[in-house]
Structure 1
């Protein structure tokens, strides 16, 4: 006490030094939504390798079109099954050639209903994990496994043909789900006389106060072409990152031409989407196929360790 009284400047310096030491030694807490898993120094190399593999496939696609075309307009979705036996189907031109840089697992029921997901472990402890699911049809095994495999993910379900999620959602997890009996479309149709009510993804995200979706599932029976064209085209043209990390999409191709489908698919690629898994549903005569895509643009949690809440 005597030293402090006689030398006030010295006492002030000592106090400042102690406060600085306490600040530097204090434990750091990541901001809400930050990646809590240890940093993965090998992740950038795996992502770069996956990009190189996919670029190689793009060159091969051009060669296949020239072989069976030689232009996209001359390529058929499904050549007639007459001699010589058809050498391809449309799906051969669009392989899921991107390498997910994490574990891949099928979530949900085997057969119709389940989806392939890349890196669920990356969002398992993410405090602000958000999942959107369009197309419920009273079967929610996919959504139930998302809830079971994560600590904080909130699941938002949309389907105007039903009134709730399916029975697979356990009562203990209902508080993490939000269901709305509306549909996804390329434009808003939510007026008093609109039945069913339809909204764009941008509108629904704004209503929920979300800037980013971690996992987006869309199964809307053919309307994915119009809906995703409206959603993705501005991002494909501007180079901005999409507001979601990955997409599980069921594609219904029954009324398309090869040239039209190729143009639509290339728009998905221009927006930053890369397919990492697919299944061909043979019981529907090849006309639909579920694909899983990663968004390779921006800093989402599946391709970057620097992801923070609100970034895309």
Structure 2
């Protein structure tokens, strides 16, 4: 009797242990699932949305770029980005580069050769204004329909002139009506923004079937998830010319995502985009202050109307 009671007690303890182990395993699986979900939806401040092979028509790799865990891997990827963003030569010779000087810094350059020239009824999407409409007004004066976007400005939706329309909306890799941006030199206090993917935004504006003759993006690191989404959803096929300022700051994008940034640049090239102009900023290559920035002009050599 005593032995039987002890056996039952041992069995009960084992069953409790197995139950606890099962609960813990399910909890970890739920946590992992939530972690993956966050990776696919977060902004660039921590990590990039990973490319999904399930998007219809997407030109993506079968497996996403890995997160880099070791210091050596991160340094190697940083060297690769330094080469790609600042040192590699241009890939397309544009015989007619047009300049539009900004009020605040530098100039935007676009290709005006016979293949990529801006002609009525040209469509321009310009993301990142910072109160300087020089670029947008200049293209509006050419007769293009220009749509300007910047959620960081204290400016409401309005028609600036007959050819330039402004929206306080941001561009990223996902849609969110109450996105909370990181606090930095552009965002001084906590706020919320309306952000959209390019595909969603074009749908909302009735441009789903139109060609973007020129897409300009200067959005302080949010270009990475935005471009990832543009490629994954196949929207790059509707873009003839692409101007962008690439940003890599000391703390974001996170260094473990550097392989994902390399993948974006490679996928952009595979999609048909070739650089005709590059303006590298002075880098900081000290690892704790690592900073790379460069203005690029691309044309889409695979574009077909």
Question: Deviation string for 1:267-309 (max 9, x for gaps)?
Answer: 111222111111111277751111111111132xxxxxxxxxx
Shift of residue 112 of structure 1?
A: 2.3
* Contact 1:130 1:215 survives alignment (8 Å): yes
Distance 2:139 2:162 in 1: 14
Q: 1:77 to 1:180 in 2, by over 3 A?
A: same
Shift of residue 101 of structure 1?
A: 4.2
Q: 1:251 to 1:122 in 2, by over 3 A?
A: same
Shift of residue 147 of structure 1?
A: 2.8
Q: 1:176 to 1:93 in 2, by over 3 A?
A: closer
Q: After TM superposition, list the pairs within 5 Å mapping 1:162-201 onto structure 2.
A: 162-164=153-155, 174-190=161-177, 195-201=192-198
> Which structure 1 residue ranges, 5 or more long, are not aligned?
1-70, 80-87, 166-170, 300-310
Considering Cα pairs closer than 8 Å and 6+ residues apart, tell me whether 1 or 2 has the greater RCO: 2
Q: Name whichever structure is richer in strand by fraction.
A: 2
Partner SS for 1:190: strand
Partner SS for 2:124: strand
Give the aligned length.
210
TM-score by length of 2: 0.59
Partner SS for 1:203: helix
Is 1:242 aligned to residue 232 of structure 2?
Answer: no
Q: After TM superposition, list the pairs within 5 Å mapping 1:246-265 onto structure 2.
A: 246-254=241-249, 255=253, 256=255, 259-265=259-265
Distance 1:247 1:92 in 2: 15
Q: 1:102 to 1:207 in 2, by over 3 A?
A: farther
Equivalent residue for 2:149, pick from 158, 164, 167: 158
Equivalent residue number for residue 22 of structure 1: none
Shift of residue 263 of structure 1?
A: 1.7
TM-score by length of 1: 0.58
Distance 1:146 1:246 in 2: 14
Equivalent residue number for residue 299 of structure 2: 294
Question: Deviation string for 1:164-210 (max 9, x for gaps)?
Answer: 59xxxxx9x81111000011111111379993111111111112222
Distance 1:212 1:263 in 2: 25
Q: 1:124 to 1:89 in 2, by over 3 A?
A: closer
Distance 1:260 1:241 in 2: 18
* Contact 2:94 2:113 survives alignment (8 Å): no
Shift of residue 123 of structure 1?
A: 7.2
Equivalent residue number for residue 3 of structure 1: none
Partner SS for 2:267: helix
Distance 2:215 2:115 in 1: 15
Equivalent residue number for residue 78 of structure 2: 77
Shift of residue 105 of structure 1?
A: 2.1
Shift of residue 158 of structure 1?
A: 0.5
Shift of residue 118 of structure 1?
A: 0.4
Distance 1:284 1:106 in 2: 27
Distance 1:91 1:292 in 2: 14
Distance 1:90 1:283 in 2: 11
Is 1:216 aligned to residue 215 of structure 2?
Answer: yes
Equivalent residue number for residue 278 of structure 1: 278
Distance 1:272 1:123 in 2: 14
* Contact 1:100 1:118 survives alignment (8 Å): no
Distance 2:86 2:222 in 1: 22
Equivalent residue number for residue 45 of structure 1: none
Shift of residue 230 of structure 1?
A: 1.4
Distance 1:78 1:112 in 2: 27
